[in-house]
Amino acid sequence: MSAPSTPAPTGPAVPATRAVWPAVVCDLVCVVVFTVVGTMSHATSGDLGHVALVGLPFLVGLAVGWLAARAWRAPARVWPTGVAVWFATVVLGLALRPALGVGGVEVSFAVVTALFLGATLLGWRAIASFAARRRAS
């Protein structure tokens, strides 16, 4: 007697782990570039420890955004994944800066942060989505 076969799963497929890692790396690169460019443009200490401390609040925000959006399900989607990740990265990053003693939150810095991280975190996703649509057609 043979074992009963299990039906094929329905609904959205869970992406393979290897498909998620490029998205994680892209997001990390966006935050690290933001941090490095920011520390260089303000002539602050360029040592690795300082850059890591400045980037830490935004990396925490990025991680929370990934968890809240369950970004591993559709990591390259602009909406809602990318927007949720971007929002959490910006809001939590700005909120945690004073708590970690990294700096204050000036309005101009908040605007630049939102624009830069929006352009990069949403930008790579828009490019990836466009490329996927082109391949599919």
Q: For the chain, what is the HEC assignment? A: CCCCCCCCCCCCCCCCHHHHHHHHHHHHHHHHHHHHHHHHHCCCCCCHHHHHHHHHHHHHHHHHHHHHHCHHHCCCCHHHHHHHHHHHHHHHHHHHHHHCCCCCCCHHHHHHHHHHHHHHHHHHHHHHHHHHHHHHC
pLDDT tens per residue, range 28-74: 999 999 999 998 887 666 688 888 999 999 999 999 999 999 999 99
pTM: 0.86
